[in-house]
């Protein structure tokens, strides 16, 4: 009987951890969806993945709203040929999540080939059961 009670208590206390891991996985999936949509932009998909209140900060200090971010991806002003994310950390707190990672990308902005390595922080908000991008800030890095 004591074993059953112990296992029941253990199960009750582990439920929040299981739920948090599930939400972390959903946030990670949303990050991957954003990455894919930045490489192969789809206006309808981006519109659904991003909140209207988006604040998208670039490493040069430029800040875009949702419309300008999507427009620049669609018209090639911001053109990602490939994106690799590393050192990713995800923190979920209720209906908010913070994601940090290093972004290495090959770009072709306005037809000009280039590459970039940035530290990125994104903020995600869970709306109607889906994780959506609320904010993003990039910082240049000199790290290898």
Q: For the purposes of burial, counting CB atoms within 10 Å of the CB of 60, is it exposed (0-12), middle (13-18) or buried (19 or more)?
A: exposed
- Say how many domains are in the chain: 1
The residue segments making up the domain with residue 49 are 2-140
User: Per-residue pLDDT tens for 76-91?
Assistant: 999 999 999 999 999 9
User: Per-residue pLDDT tens for 93-129?
Assistant: 999 999 999 999 999 999 999 999 999 999 999 999 9
Contact at 8 Å (CB) between 104 and 115? Answer: yes
CATH number at residue 82: 3.10.450.50
Mean pLDDT of 44-63: 96
Shortest CA distance to 62 belongs to which of 126, 10, 140, 1? 140
Helices within 2-140 (DSSP H only): 2-39, 43-49, 66-75
- Whole-prediction pTM: 0.84
């Amino acid at each position: 009987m004591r074993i059953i009670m112990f296992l029941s208590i253990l199960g009750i206390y582990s439920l929040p951890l299981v739920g948090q891991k599930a939400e972390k996985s959903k946030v990670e999936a949303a990050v991957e969806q954003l990455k894919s949509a930045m490489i192969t932009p789809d206006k309808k998909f981006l519109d659904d993945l991003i909140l209207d209140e988006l604040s998208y900060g670039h490493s040069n200090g430029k800040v875009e709203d949702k419309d300008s971010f999507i427009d620049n991806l669609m018209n090639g002003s911001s053109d990602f040929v490939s994106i690799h994310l590393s050192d990713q950390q995800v923190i979920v707190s209720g209906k908010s999540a913070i994601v940090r990672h290093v972004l290495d990308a090959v770009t072709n902005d306005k037809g000009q080939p280039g590459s970039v390595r940035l530290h990125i922080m994104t903020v995600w908000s869970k709306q109607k059961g889906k994780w959506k991008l609320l904010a993003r800030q990039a910082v240049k890095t000199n790290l290898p």
